Amino acid sequence: MSVSFDKIEPGMELLDIHNYKVGNTTMRRLGLWKVRVISVDKEARTAMCSWNSNPPRLYRERDFKRLYSKPTKAYLVQQERRS
């Protein structure tokens, strides 16, 4: 389940889970990247976040709809199959 903007706080670590292409093929795999919330502006409904330890950028409320607080079931099943 995605994260609600009202529940985020500075210092939280969220997860960005989405499909990506594997090499020079048509195969796809689910990837997991960490997003660290640095500061939150409740009035403007924005937050400064650092994705995968990159420099911080502005995230709007709609950007949080694709972030998760814990790994999804699909991601966990994929990891289990790889082991």
Spans of all domains in the chain: 5-82
Q: What is the CATH number of domain 5-82?
A: 2.30.30
pLDDT score recorded for residue 10: 97
Phi-psi region of 76 (alpha: psi -120 to 50; beta: other; left: phi over 0): alpha
Check: CB of residue 68 under 8 Å from CB of residue 14.
yes
pLDDT digits (tens, 9 = 90+) for 62-81: 999 999 999 999 999 999 99
Give residue-wise pLDDT tens across range 18-59.
Answer: 999 998 989 999 999 999 999 999 999 999 999 998 999 999
The pTM is what? 0.86
What is the number of other CB atoms lying within 10 angstroms of the CB of residue 35?
22
Cβ of 20: how many Cβ atoms within 10 Å? 9
Indicate the burial class of 7 (C-beta count within 10 angstroms; 0-12, 13-18, 19 or more).
exposed
Q: What is the pLDDT of residue 72?
A: 94
Q: What is the DSSP letter of 81?
A: H
